[in-house]
C-alpha cells in the first residue's frame, strides 16, 4: 500500500505563486471544485497580503496509467520568519516541488529552503511558474536552476498556475520521480508532528506523518519530548475537511485529536509513539523554537489587561512560536513582554490581535536578547533595557549575530554594501550566481536589522533584492544603555540598548523628534538623552505663557518685573507637580527615526 503514497511539499520565495499552483493540483485531481481565490490560504490576513502564514496539508487521489495513487501535499510559508515550520514540513516529505517565478528568477529564500530540502535527501522537482506572463524569461531562469541544482534541462517543468499549463506533467513527475515512503509497519510507532491547529470545539489538532508502525483509533499514545500521554480519540486524513479513519499506516499523513487543551503540550517536531510499545528514540531534528525579537505589548486602556492576556493565550494556541510573560512599565502600566520570530511575525501578531480579538495595543521598540556577564563570570539573559544590571557590575555584553545573505542584481551592489556597513555588517564573501545576479553574505548584529533594515533594503534596490538570514551565535560588543529623561525623570519605554558608536547620534535624533511630538505645557519641559549619568543631548520645549505685562503701560519698570517674578514662581510650582504625557505616536515615531 505504501508504494502508492507520495508525500511532497512546495518550496518557493514569497509571491512566486505556490498557493495558486497548489490550487491547480487540487483541481486536476478532483479534490475540489475551484471557486476562485486561494483555497489553502484561509486566513483573511493571508488573502490580503498574499502570503502563506501557516503550513497546510491536504490529501489528493490521482489515477496515473490505470493505477490509483495517494498524494499528500504540504504547502509551506515562504517568508524567512517561518523557516522552522518549513523545516519540519520538509522532514515529513520525500520530495519537494521547487517553484521559481519565470519573471523574477531564483531568490534568497528559495535557496535557503532548497538547502534544507537537500539536507533531508528530498527528491527535487524544479518547476518554472508564471510562464504565461509577458515578462517571463524561462531560458535565463532555466540556466539559474541548472547551475543551482546541477540537473538536466529536460527535468525542469514549465508551468503556469493561472492557465493550468504543465500541471499534468507535475503530477506525473511527482509519481515517477519521488520515492514512496520507507518504513517498517511492524516496528513500534513513530510519527512526526509537523504542525498543529487550534479548534475551539475539539481542542488542539496535531498533524503528523507516520515514519514507522501503525496507529489505530482509541490507541493510547504519548508524545516523546513532552512525555504527556493521551488517547487517540479520532484519527484521520486531511482532505478539504478532516475525514476520520479507523487506522493509519506507515507513510500516511493525517491528524490526531486527543482533547489537548494547552498549546505548550504540542511541539512542532515532536514524535508520537505508543505507551505499550514505545520507540527507542525520537525522530531527529526536534528543537524548541527560539524567539529572536522581543517587544512590549501594552493595552491602551489599563483595564483591558486581563482581556489582552486571554487574547494572547488564544492566539498562542494557533501560533505556537509566540511567547509572552507579564511585565510593567512606569510610562505604560501593565502589559506583556512578547517574543517573536521576526518583524513580519510581530506585525502579523499585532494585526491578528486587532482583528480577531478587537484589542488595541501599544507596541514598544522591538529589541533582541543580550547575554550580560558580570565580574564573577555569571551570565544573565536580558530582553529589555529596563532589566539591565548596574553598569559598574557588568564585565562585558554579548549580542546575537546573524549570517545574512542578500541576492540582487549587480546594479545595486554599492548601495546595499553601504547599507550593510552602516549597520555594522562584515562582508564574508560574494558569489556571482548567473549573468548579472550576485549573492552577498554578511555577518551582522541582529539588533541592527530588527527595526528597519528590510524596508530600506527593498527601497534602495527598488524591490530587486531578496534577503534571508539565520542565527550564528553571540559575540562580545560595546553596548550602552541610552535613557531618555523628561524633566529629569527617565521614560523606561523609550530607553534602548545601542552600540557606543551610534549612541550620540541616536540620542540627538530622539530628542529632536520628541520635541516635535510632545505637546507644549504651561511650563518648560527638558528632554535629555543620557548614558548613565552623562547627558549627551538636550532639547527644551518652551512653556505656553500668558502675557502678564500687557496691562502695564509706561511707569516704573519694577511693576513689570514684579508681575514677571510672580509668573516665574507659578511656573516653577507647576513644574514640580506637573507630569508630562508622552503621546502614543511618539513611541511609534522613535521606531521610524530616519
The DSSP element (H or E) to which 565 belongs, if any, is helix 557-577
Q: Among 168, 155, 295, which residue's Cα sits nearest to residue 591?
A: 295
- Confirm if 204 and 261 have CB atoms less than 8 A apart: yes
Q: Burial, 394: exposed, middle or buried (Cβ in 10 Å; 0-12, 13-18, 19+)?
A: middle
Instruction: Tell whether residue 129 is among the known ligand binding residues.
Output: yes
- Confirm if 461 and 406 have CB atoms less than 8 A apart: no
Instruction: Tell whether residue 17 is among the known ligand binding residues.
Output: yes
Q: Which residues contact 393 (CB under 8 A, 6 or more apart)?
A: 374, 375
Q: Rg (Cα) of the chain, in Å, rounded?
A: 29
* Helix orientation angle between 167-177 and 18-28, rounded to the nearest 10 degrees: 80
Residue 469 burial (CB count, 10 A): 23
Instruction: Tell whether residue 161 is among the known ligand binding residues.
Output: no
Cα–Cα distance, 36 to 38 (Å, whole number): 7
Instruction: Tell whether residue 20 is among the known ligand binding residues.
Output: yes
Cα–Cα distance, 143 to 230 (Å, whole number): 51
Instruction: Tell whether residue 409 is among the known ligand binding residues.
Output: no
Cα–Cα distance, 87 to 90 (Å, whole number): 5
| Residue 443 β-bridge partners | 403, 426
Mapped onto helix, strand or coil, the DSSP state of residue 47 is helix
Mapped onto helix, strand or coil, the DSSP state of residue 544 is coil
- Confirm if 51 and 17 have CB atoms less than 8 A apart: no
- Confirm if 331 and 365 have CB atoms less than 8 A apart: no
Instruction: Tell whether residue 16 is among the known ligand binding residues.
Output: yes
Residue 34: phi and psi, rounded to 5, are -70, 130
Residue 512: phi and psi, rounded to 5, are -65, -40
Helix, strand, coil percentages for the chain (3-state, nearest 5)? 30, 35, 35
Question: For residue 36, what is its C-alpha cell?
Answer: 476562485
The CB-side HSE value for 155 (13 A sphere, CA atoms) comes to 17
Q: Among 3, 7, 1, 2, which residue's Cα sits nearest to residue 174?
A: 7
CA angle 371, 375, 378 (to 5 degrees): 45
- Which 3-state string (H, E, C) describes 494-519? HCEEEEHHHHHHHHHHHHHHHHHHCC
Cα–Cα distance, 145 to 150 (Å, whole number): 8
Cα–Cα distance, 402 to 105 (Å, whole number): 25
Q: Please report, in range form, the residues annotated as the binding site for GTP.
A: 15-20, 129-132
Q: Please report, in range form, the residues annotated as the binding site.
A: 15-20, 129-132
Amino acid at each position: 500500500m505504501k508504494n502508492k503514497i507520495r508525500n511532497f511539499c512546495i518550496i518557493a520565495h514569497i509571491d512566486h505563486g505556490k498557493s495558486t499552483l497548489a490550487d491547480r493540483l487540487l483541481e486536476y485531481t478532483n479534490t475540489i471544485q475551484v471557486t476562485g481565490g486561494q483555497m489553502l490560504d484561509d486566513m483573511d490576513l493571508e488573502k490580503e497580503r498574499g502570503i502563506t502564514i501557516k503550513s497546510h496539508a491536504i490529501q489528493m487521489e490521482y489515477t496515473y496509467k490505470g493505477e490509483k495513487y495517494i498524494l499528500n501535499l504540504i504547502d509551506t510559508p515562504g517568508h524567512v520568519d517561518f523557516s522552522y515550520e518549513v523545516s519540519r514540513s520538509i522532514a515529513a516529505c520525500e520530495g519537494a516541488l521547487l517553484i521559481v517565478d519565470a519573471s523574477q528568477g531564483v531568490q534568497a529564500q528559495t535557496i535557503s529552503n532548497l538547502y534544507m530540502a537537500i539536507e533531508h535527501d528530498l527528491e527535487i522537482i524544479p518547476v518554472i511558474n508564471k510562464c504565461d506572463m509577458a515578462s517571463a524569461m524561462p531560458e535565463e531562469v532555466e540556466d539559474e536552476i541548472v547551475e543551482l541544482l546541477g540537473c538536466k534541462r529536460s527535468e525542469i517543468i514549465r508551468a503556469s498556475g493561472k492557465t493550468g499549463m504543465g500541471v499534468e506533467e507535475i503530477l506525473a513527475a511527482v509519481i515517477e520521480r519521488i520515492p514512496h515512503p520507507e518504513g517498517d509497519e511492524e516496528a513500534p510507532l513513530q510519527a512526526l508532528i509537523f504542525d498543529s491547529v487550534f479548534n475551539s470545539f475539539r481542542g488542539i489538532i496535531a498533524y503528523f506523518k507516520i515514519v514507522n508502525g501503525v496507529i489505530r483509533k482509541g490507541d493510547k499514545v504519548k508524545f516523546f519530548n513532552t512525555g504527556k500521554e493521551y488517547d487517540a480519540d479520532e484519527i484521520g486524513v486531511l482532505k478539504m475537511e478532516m475525514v476520520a479513519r479507523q487506522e493509519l499506516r506507515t507513510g500516511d499523513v493525517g491528524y490526531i485529536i486527543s482533547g489537548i487543551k494547552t498549546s505548550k503540550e504540542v511541539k512542532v517536531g515532536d514524535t508520537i509513539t505508543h505507551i505499550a510499545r514505545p520507540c527507542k528514540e525520537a525522530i531527529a531534528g526536534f528543537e524548541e523554537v527560539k524567539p529572536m525579537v522581543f517587544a512590549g505589548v501594552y493595552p491602551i486602556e489599563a483595564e483591558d489587561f486581563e482581556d489582552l492576556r486571554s487574547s494572547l493565550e488564544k492566539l498562542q494556541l494557533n501560533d505556537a512560536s509566540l511567547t509572552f510573560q507579564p511585565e510593567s512599565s512606569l510610562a505604560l502600566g501593565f502589559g506583556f513582554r512578547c517574543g517573536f520570530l521576526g518583524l513580519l511575525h510581530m506585525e502579523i501578531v499585532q494585526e491578528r490581535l486587532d482583528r480577531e480579538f478587537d484589542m488595541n495595543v501599544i507596541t514598544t521598540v522591538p529589541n533582541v536578547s543580550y547575554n550580560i556577564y558580570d565580574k564573577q563570570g555569571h551570565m544573565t539573559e536580558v530582553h529589555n533595557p529596563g532589566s539591565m544590571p548596574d553598569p559598574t557590575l557588568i564585565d562585558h555584553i554579548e549580542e546575537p549575530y546573524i549570517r545574512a545573505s542578500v541576492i540582487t542584481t549587480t546594479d545595486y551592489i554599492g548601495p546595499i554594501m553601504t547599507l550593510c556597513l552602516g549597520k555594522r555588517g562584515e562582508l564574508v564573501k560574494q558569489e556571482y550566481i548567473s549573468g548579472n545576479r550576485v549573492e552577498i553574505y554578511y555577518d551582522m548584529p541582529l539588533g541592527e536589522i530588527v527595526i528597519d533594515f528590510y524596508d530600506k533594503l527593498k527601497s534602495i534596490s527598488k524591490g530587486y533584492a531578496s534577503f534571508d538570514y539565520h542565527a550564528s551565535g553571540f559575540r562580545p560588543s560595546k553596548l550602552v544603555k541610552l535613557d531618555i529623561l523628561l524633566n529629569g525623570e527617565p521614560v523606561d519605554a523609550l530607553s534602548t540598548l545601542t552600540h557606543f558608536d551610534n549612541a550620540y547620534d541616536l540620542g540627538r535624533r530622539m530628542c529632536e523628534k520628541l520635541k516635535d511630538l510632545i505637546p507644549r505645557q504651561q511650563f518648560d519641559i527638558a528632554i535629555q538623552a543620557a548614558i548613565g549619568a552623562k547627558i549627551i543631548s538636550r532639547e527644551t520645549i518652551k512653556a505656553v505663557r500668558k502675557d502678564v505685562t500687557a496691562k502695564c503701560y509706561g511707569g516704573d519698570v519694577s511693576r513689570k518685573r514684579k508681575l514677571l517674578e510672580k509668573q516665574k514662581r507659578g511656573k516653577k510650582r507647576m513644574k514640580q507637580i506637573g507630569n508630562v504625557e508622552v503621546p502614543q505616536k511618539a513611541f511609534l515615531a522613535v521606531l521610524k527615526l530616519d
